[in-house]
């Protein structure tokens, strides 16, 4: 130690020689000057010059001269990253978030995809997992957004904050386009930055003291937001469920519609049709049962219709096609899967004025307060795109995009059917639900990724009833879908 200290203190009081001793890539240097008038230092060295390429375990020295008036003591203290961040606040973690299991499903799939690409840097990885659109937004829509964006550079065209509920013209167009003759008016519609955001806003609206039911399997945001809000108990690993959530089992055996005679009464019921992940759309008769069940129990349905434009035939596109639904239902919807707005972010939620709490207070008034408190309205540029979507040209363009993805879906359905698999969905939704009986969903996911370099989604990520299934998304360029199907045939021939 004396030798080290002597090496720091030179004979010339006007010069201080500092020796940096480095044995790891994490270090902390502290300097205490006993007396000084001025210290001027100029250190310019890149990491590659300062450290050896592969020599972090080799003792290295570098001499730096610092002008000073008096001798100083310099201490070099090696620390770990944990030691550098050892300070902790006195704020407790949200215990509800701590209940969540692992990461949210789709970021976890993204993480595994990234790891696979590192392992196989030359592989052409095809993603049919996360339901992200791939085809360009139609020009009639982007032109309208570009025009609005350019107008913001002018005095006449500039706009700041808009109405939190959305632009009046867009709300009116949504009502006339999707809810004509259903009794839904423009002031029942709240424009947002997407259905997923509104799901969380609705959870905030109802608070932590409500009970909740969800289809099993279903979009994971319903359950995870419920957990975060404190509506649930702990995760029960033996059954792969959270306590205090009513899981409404939807399987091929019950035509993917729950046996309501076995469903306990809850305050809130999340229901998605066409369903993500199974691709199944509820029939009119089934939705009549659902609305009656909600009325009999005094429950509220949150109906996710994000894929309604994929529906064909007489299958309902909106819950409000069912008589009495306005008294028991809220509907969320989105432009994401119609117009490729997954990155633009624009959706809407319908809260009918007929929907009321047990004390008679309108639910819409409270939702309006939530929106005004935590949201400044959807982007005015995105809303210009929404208006263009609802023009005659925009509607035609969206139907063309939806038709393209439905063709992809049929290609995937035909592929797995030809290979002898039981295949569900694919008719009224851009998802194909493939059964791998007796196998772990994550194991199948891993095998497909490892052997074909194609990303899918494990069914168990959507709930325990999804075990043994894999969801294959039809969102993809046509050549990629064809190539993926060729690889599936090679793997399972």
The secondary structure of 44-85 as a DSSP string is ---HHHHS-SS-TTS-B--EEEEE-SS-EEEEEEE--HHHHT
Nearest CA-CA partner of 442 in 418, 468, 423, 480: 468
The secondary structure of 403-441 as a DSSP string is HHHHHHHHHHHHHHHHTT--EEE-SSSSEEEEE-TTS-H
Helices 105-119 and 441-452 cross at an angle (nearest 10°) of 30
Q: Residue 429, exposed/middle/buried by CB under 10 A (0-12, 13-18, 19+)?
A: buried
Q: Residue 31, exposed/middle/buried by CB under 10 A (0-12, 13-18, 19+)?
A: middle
Specify the pLDDT at position 84: 66
**Continuous segment of H or E residues that includes residue 393:** helix 392-418
How many CA atoms are closer than 13 Å to the CA of 343, on its beta-carbon side? 7
Specify the pLDDT at position 101: 80
- For the beta carbon of residue 426, count every other beta carbon within 10 angstroms: 26
Specify the pLDDT at position 187: 98
Specify the pLDDT at position 416: 98
Specify the pLDDT at position 176: 98
What is the CATH code of the structural domain delimited by 140-392? 3.40.640.10
Specify the pLDDT at position 270: 98
- The CA distances from residue 125 to 108, 385, 433, 455, 483, in Å, are 16, 32, 21, 7, 10
Give the residue carrying structure tokens 């939806």.
Answer: 402
Tokens at 89, concatenated = 């606040």
Output the pTM of the full model: 0.82
State the Cα–Cα distance between residues 394 and 406, nearest whole angstrom: 18
State the Cα–Cα distance between residues 152 and 160, nearest whole angstrom: 9
Note the pLDDT tens digit of each residue in 316-329. 999 999 999 999 99
Specify the pLDDT at position 97: 94
- Flag residues of the chain having pLDDT under 50: 1-78
Torsion of CA 28, 34, 40, 41, to 10 degrees: -20
Specify the pLDDT at position 131: 87
């Amino acid at each position: 130690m004396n030798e080290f200290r002597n090496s720091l203190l030179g004979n010339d009081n006007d010069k201080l020689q500092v020796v940096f001793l480095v044995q790891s890539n994490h270090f902390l240097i502290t300097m205490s000057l006993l007396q000084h008038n001025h210290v001027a230092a100029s250190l310019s060295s890149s990491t590659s010059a300062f450290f050896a390429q592969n020599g972090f375990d080799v003792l290295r020295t570098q001499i730096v001269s610092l002008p000073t008036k008096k001798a100083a003591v310099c201490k070099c203290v090696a620390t770990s990253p944990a030691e550098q961040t050892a300070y902790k606040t006195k704020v407790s973690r949200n215990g509800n978030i701590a209940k969540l299991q692992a990461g949210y499903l789709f970021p976890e799939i993204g993480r595994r995809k990234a790891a696979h690409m590192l392992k196989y840097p030359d592989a052409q990885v095809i993603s049919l997992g996360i339901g992200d659109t791939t085809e360009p937004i139609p020009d009639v829509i982007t032109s309208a957004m570009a025009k609005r964006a350019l107008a913001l550079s002018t005095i006449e065209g500039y706009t700041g904050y808009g109405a939190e509920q959305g632009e009046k013209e867009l709300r009116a167009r949504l009502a006339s386009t999707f809810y004509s003759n259903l009794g839904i008016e423009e002031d029942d519609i709240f424009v947002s930055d997407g259905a997923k955001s509104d799901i969380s806003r609705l959870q905030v609206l109802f608070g932590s003291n409500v009970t909740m039911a969800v289809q099993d399997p279903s979009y994971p945001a319903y359950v995870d937001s419920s957990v975060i809000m404190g509506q649930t108990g702990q995760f029960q690993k033996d059954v792969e469920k959270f306590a205090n959530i009513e899981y409404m089992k939807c399987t091929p055996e019950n035509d993917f519609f729950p046996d309501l005679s076995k469903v306990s009464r809850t305050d809130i019921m999340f229901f998605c049709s066409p369903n993500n992940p199974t691709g199944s759309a509820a029939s009119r008769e089934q939705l009549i049962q659902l609305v009656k069940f909600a009325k009999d129990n005094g429950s509220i349905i949150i109906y996710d219709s994000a894929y309604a434009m994929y529906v064909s035939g007489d299958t309902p596109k909106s819950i409000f096609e069912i008589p009495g639904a306005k008294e028991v239902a809220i509907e969320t919807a989105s432009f994401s899967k119609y117009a490729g707005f997954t990155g633009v972010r624009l959706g809407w939620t319908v809260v009918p004025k007929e929907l009321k709490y047990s004390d008679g207070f309108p639910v819409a008034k409270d939702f309006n307060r939530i929106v005004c408190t935590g949201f400044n309205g959807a982007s005015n540029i995105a809303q210009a795109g929404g208006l263009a979507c609802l023009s005659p040209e925009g509607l035609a363009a969206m139907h063309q995009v939806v038709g393209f993805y439905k063709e992809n879906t049929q290609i995937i359905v035909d592929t797995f059917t030809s290979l002898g698999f039981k295949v569900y969905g694919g008719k009224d939704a851009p998802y194909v639900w493939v059964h791998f009986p007796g196998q772990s969903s994550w194991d199948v996911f891993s095998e497909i990724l490892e052997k074909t370099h194609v990303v899918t989604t494990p069914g168990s990520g959507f709930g325990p009833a999804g075990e043994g299934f894999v969801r294959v998304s039809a969102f993809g360029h046509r050549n990629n879908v064809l190539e993926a199907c060729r690889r599936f045939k090679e793997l399972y021939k």
